[in-house]
Chain A
């Protein structure tokens, strides 16, 4: 029976959205450093945020592969929009989806999947970056509620989020084994945030510190069992890394497309600069990196979709694709010569934005250690 291929169709629809609606405004949003509300809401109305959730809770009934396709295409247009979309599709809403009550789904999850509410995800603290065992935000039981105290930092969408998935310590003696996630709406007493951070890239993503001062939440706002915070995180870690790989893949494509176009157009010494072997070498390396990243991202996504354990593959994917994107965005600024340094061309934005991919989902020094551990080291 003649039917469209869902992956091709969704890629085509999102690619068109990116070409027509994202790319024309990307530079301006980046320059102003403002959150692109309109684009975000449009993605909500298209059912993008629900792509990996089932229809029964207002999702679109897709899977991780489709989600990576969307992430890749969006990243090609504006990495920070793709990053906030990832937050909304995955880290910012997954705990709420898996552990939230029906009421919480109605009040928070369903509106979030339509882009009407924004979710955020809080692991990092000033003293707990890669070292999550050092999380000091505490949640203490008091009757049938919990009282949360502490602070988080580097919160994507922190200043504008309506609710937060927060990693807390319920038993400080237990380190990693005392961790537990809690759901915290922004409008409860004791919740506040800092001013937004100034950052090098992904400037339409709003980041801030988050403060909890005796924030009282009911016990149904526990997301997962006591002491199982790390397990909850591990259950989506492969997906977080595959998604970060997909973001890197999209950015790499943008850098390569721009480089290729410029290498063909720019004439020096009477010929296009792309006729020089050293420029060809740069393009060839980008092409190989692109192909390898693509194979890794979609192989990992397919493993996730078929419930195979693949944290190792996901870790290698995030590491490789991100390094490849950083190489490509760097080379792009060289192919553009002085114009790569000009704010008039988007390659400077690709270069600045690429650095964001190095940290979220695990810093590369730690990831390399994880990869080596897989081989018994």
Chain B
């Protein structure tokens, strides 16, 4: 049994600061972390491995510093890691990213399940998982919040719980498949010191692939192959309007409730 988990290294903040002139992300002083949803995906994979045996591999595409995300995943219990890093990958949109990841997955030998986080806190697109499933021609379930049965093998199948607006769906799915998970699926474990130290050693099971290793030319990846191109990024203009409610406490409370209701806040 083998599970591949896709992890992305992202800046540890939900309040992304942008350079007002260039529109680029200001990363200075902001530590990088494994994208929160991806951590839940890895935890789900590790629990399936504990129940069914097999191996868990993590795959990440990013700059060389993203090696830390891969090492940390090994520290949590993944057996092997692959980092896709090449200056040619820079500027990839979700399509180019999914395409590049799919080539790496074809190069890794087989899998029963691919797990991704639902979305990354920096890009917020939630597109890579679904696109990857399409490219690899796999059944996909998004926003998975529980895996109630998992039977890998020749005619493998799994039953999952999926979060939908206002409720849940229970679904059967054949394997191999791709699931994207949401945070309520589990509480991720902390990495173990011994495993972290092992992940830093040269003989650890981390592969580092570039464009050529995937059999791709530089013009087939990155910005060149992206279907979308970002023109500018800019923070929203927030306009605050303040209003002082006047009167005795009872009437002020009444007015406040009216305002909240008018604005559909309660």
Contact = CB atoms under 8 A, between A and B. Distances in A.
Contacts, number: 79
Nearest to A49: B193
A73 to B, nearest CB: 13
Interface string A1-30: 111111011101101110000000000000
Nearest to B74: A4
Nearest to B200: A6
A13 B76 CA distance: 11
B194 interface: yes
A218 interface: no
Given A4-B71, A9-B68, A17 B193 contact: no
Interface stretch (B49-57, B202-210, B227-235): B202-210
Nearest to A21: B190
Interface in A8-58: 8-10, 12-13, 15-17, 42, 45-48, 50-51, 55
A100 B238 CA distance: 65
Contacts of A46: 190-193
A3 B196 contact: no
Contact of B193 (A8, A10, A15): A10
Interface in B132-175: none
A362 B212 CA distance: 60
A51 to B, nearest CB: 6
A224 interface: no
Nearest to A10: B196
B251 interface: no
B72 interface: yes
A60 B197 contact: yes
A61 interface: yes
A36 to B, nearest CB: 15
A13 B197 contact: no
B202 A13 contact: no
Given A2-B64, A3-B206, A4-B71, A13 B33 contact: no
Tell which of A2, A15, A55 has the most Cβ of chain B within 10 Å: A2
B11 to A, nearest CB: 13
B190 A3 contact: no
B194 A55 contact: yes
B71 A3 contact: yes
Contact of A62 (B72, B193, B201): B193
A51 B202 contact: no
B61 interface: no
Contacts of A17: 190
B67 interface: yes
Contact of B194 (A3, A4, A60): A60
Contacts of A15: 31
Contact of A42 (B33, B75, B190): B190
A361 interface: no
B5 interface: no
A13 B194 contact: no
Nearest to B203: A1
B199 interface: yes
A341 B204 CA distance: 51
A88 B189 CA distance: 22
B199 A4 contact: yes
B83 interface: yes
Given A8-B68, A42-B190, A61-B197, 15 more contacts: A1-B202, A2-B85, A3-B206, A4-B68, A6-B200, A9-B68, A13-B190, A15-B31, A16-B12, A45-B192, A46-B190, A55-B194, A60-B193, A62-B193, A66-B197
Interface of A: 1-6, 8-10, 12-13, 15-17, 42, 45-48, 50-51, 55, 59-62, 66
Closest 9 CB pairs of A and B: A47-B193, A60-B193, A60-B194, A4-B71, A6-B200, A47-B192, A46-B190, A2-B208, A47-B194
